[in-house]
Structure 1
Amino acid sequence: MNRTKPGTVRIIGGRWRGRRLPVPDLPGLRPSGDRSRETLFNWLAPHLRGSRCADLFAGTGALGLEAASRGAAWVVLVEKASAATRCLEENVAKLVADGEHGTIEVVRGDAIQWLAGCTPASLDLVFVDPPFGAGLVEDVLEGLEHSECLSPGGLVYLETARQDDEAIPGPAWETLKDKTLGHVRMRLLKESEVF
Structure 2
Amino acid sequence: MQFSASRASLITAFFLIVTVVTQLIYIGLRSAGIDPPANIIWTVEAAAFLAICVFALVPLARGSAYGAAWAAVSLGGVFNVIQVGMGLAMFGPLKDAGVAMAPAFEAVLAGAFFLYFAGKFLFGFAGLLLGIHWLRIGGGAAKAVGGLAALTGLGAVATNLLAMSAGMDVVMLAGGVGTAATLFLAIAAAMLARTEAG
Q: TM-score, normalised by structure 2?
A: 0.24
TM-score by length of 1: 0.24
Say which structure, 1 or 2, has more relative contact order (CA 8 Å, 6+ apart): 2
Larger radius of gyration: 2
Question: Which is helix-richer, 1 or 2?
Answer: 2
